[in-house]
Amino acid sequence: MYLFLFGENKILSNINFEIKKGETFALIGESGGGKSSVLNLIIRFFDKNSGEILINNIDIEQISLASLREHISFVSQRVYLFNDSVAKNVAYGDEVDSNRVIEALKNADAFSFVEDMGGINAEILQFGNNLSGGQRQRISIARALYKNSSILILDEATSALDNSSERKILENIKKYTENKIVITVAHRLSTISKANKIAIFAKGKIIAIGNHEELLTNSNEYKILNQKH
């Protein structure tokens, strides 16, 4: 599988990239630079004005929304948890498979605190009000891993985690997604430095693209970001 995005709309211009199966593609840059707009186009929260977004050479607008989103797992900064068990929050409408729930929780570095709560049948309050911000994010990541989609999109998905937890989760995700596409938006370079490709966004354009080493050599913007972190 690969995903290819090309074209322009009112917010973005000259956006052109390809992501192959097994690759991680990272988007970084200034707030308002266009990163979230790219994610919204891929998920079809809104449709493009021109150009094309292809998955395996099929324009995503020719795919039903239900089918498209079945193949995408999306983790955002805004985590919605409902008043039910940990297991049902992770399965999120799918049939609960306890072994899969536990595996997803372990890969999201969440199983330890879930055990402290009483296990996967422990209650989560509405909006996750009995959890910390980092715990809510880890449950949300576990939910995405449980879904086991072809494309995993992470939008600041580890922003509430400390560096140790983030590193552990990213290592687990890398193993888990060897045959999948991962698209991630983050501000911390530690989150994206090992991505296969990193795109720097500014004013709706990609101003540089490459891996960590290439950008350190060729991009002044990336050098500045690296010095800040």
- What are the domain boundaries of the chain? 1-71+153-229, 78-148
Contact assessment for residue 32 and residue 190, using Cβ atoms and an 8 Å cutoff: no
Contact assessment for residue 114 and residue 106, using Cβ atoms and an 8 Å cutoff: no
Please tell me whether the overall predicted TM-score, pTM, comes out greater than 0.85 for this model: yes
Determine the Cα–Cα distance for residues 45 and 37; give it in Å rounded to an integer: 9
Please report the sign of the dihedral spanned by the C-alpha atoms of residue 172, residue 178, residue 180, residue 181. Answer: positive
Identify the helix (H) or strand (E) that includes residue 209: strand 205-210
**What's the average model confidence in pLDDT over 201-225?**
91
pLDDT for res 1:
45
Considering the segment(s) 78-148 as one domain, its CATH architecture is 3-Layer(aba) Sandwich (3.40)
Residue 190 has pLDDT above 90, yes or no: no
**What's the average model confidence in pLDDT over 103-122?**
96
CATH of 1-71+153-229, picked from 3.40.50.300, 3.40.605.10, 3.40.190.290, 2.60.40.10, is 3.40.50.300
Which candidate, 51, 100, 110, 50, places its Cα nearest to that of 75? 110
Asked whether the domain spanning 78-148 has the same topology as the one spanning 1-71+153-229, the reply is: yes
Contact assessment for residue 128 and residue 136, using Cβ atoms and an 8 Å cutoff: yes
**What's the average model confidence in pLDDT over 122-135?**
95
| Edge-to-edge strand ranges of the sheet holding 52-55 | 15-20, 2-7, 52-55, 58-59
Q: Which residue stretches of 45-85 are H helix?
A: 65-70
Residue 8 has pLDDT above 60, yes or no: no
